[in-house]
Amino acid sequence: MSEPSRLGIAGLGTVGVGVLDMLRDNGAALNRQAGCEVVVTAVSARSRRNDRGGHDISTYEWFDDPVELAKSDKIDTFVELIGGEDGPAKAAVEAALKAGKDVVTANKALLAHHGAALAQLAEENNACLNFEAAVAGGIPIVKTMRESLAGNGIKKVFGIVNGTCNYILTKMEKEGRDFADVLSEAQELGYAEADPAFDIGGIDAAHKVACLTSLAFGTQTDFDSIFIEGIESITLADIKNADSLGYKIKLLGVSLKTADGIEQRVHPTLVPKGSPIAEVDGVFNAVGLVGDFVDELMLMGRGAGAHPTASSVVGDIADIARGKKVPVFGIPASQLSPYKLARMRAHEGGYYVAMDLYDKPGSVAFIAKAFCEAEISIERIDQRAPVDTGVEKPTAPFILITHDTLESAMRSVLAEIGNAEYCAGEPRMIRIERY
């Protein structure tokens, strides 16, 4: 075997300990596959005293500052598991690349905001920057898109890339529980953070979409251009309505290449029951894509957790140990094209709309006329019995599904309906994707 591949790991939380587990349990097999011994020589974390799953970290050289670890001549590969788009994570990765160190990271936020600049820095210093674990945990989607599908023209990439949201929506559907109740359970089980805003607000999924977009279309990452809508406003009534209409609700990340540019979006979506994406439940993730030669492809698996994510980290480490070097986003950084935004409001697709109409003559006729004048074709209407809540003006749930139409037209007609005397409150709209 050749000289050992020496690792410096910054961040010894859930994923960091998972990496140590894998190196301990499967180290011999990894060494054979890598063609050299892969060893941890140095580590950095916020505290030396925390429990690390029985691992004795005193056998590694300790660095209080991850930036100093990144520059150390005691390591060949810097493994960044700190997290965060800026701060120590960014400073340490930049330091490692400038020192000519190869880098493995699970940090989707860092790449979403600084991917193009870091890719350029890696190439200038003849270093690798591998990030399989940053998108969809243990699912090997980065390597699939970057290497296995080389030569394919990707038209669309989409998927369920946040397990917390998928768990919440699945529980609401299968157990008939409301959002707040399931969120609380997810926090107790460790599927959601104490502050779940990044997950349920769609930010985490958007970070991953930014990375997938650059891989798919050879563009610079542009997180700020992503349309983001979380699941906070999804009600149990929406879940039940979707079910009765033959759909499930999923939080999807979508990146689509159009004649006008690239559309990136994260939002709740109705998907038909029985479609592959609709059957991805619980904390599982799935990423699908459409290519000109490969046609349709979908990968599914655990999108988070210590060991699935560690599997992707170690896979990247093995590639570096073998001497495998691939451009960060599949093409040289200098060839990444500027991101050109295709406006969301030009999006075509069907929509689910739910509203509460006052139980009075003319309500339904007004809705029908508004949609007709907007030239929006209605596929299905579901009018429920009035709900007597004891208030002076009882309301009746009114649900409809449209045929494909422009989002700009939908927003315009719903604004008109929401301001009319017939509608109690704002109508709720959820996009439909017919995979």
In angstroms, rounded to a whole number, what is the distance separating the alpha carbons of residues 277 and 434?
10
Beta bridge partners of 300: 286
In angstroms, rounded to a whole number, what is the distance separating the alpha carbons of residues 68 and 46?
14
CB 173 within 8 A of CB 248: yes
In angstroms, rounded to a whole number, what is the distance separating the alpha carbons of residues 335 and 230?
33
- Give the catalytic positions in this structure: 208
Q: Could you give phi then psi for residue 331, rounded to 5 degrees?
A: -130, 160
Residue 263: both structure tokens together: 């559309």
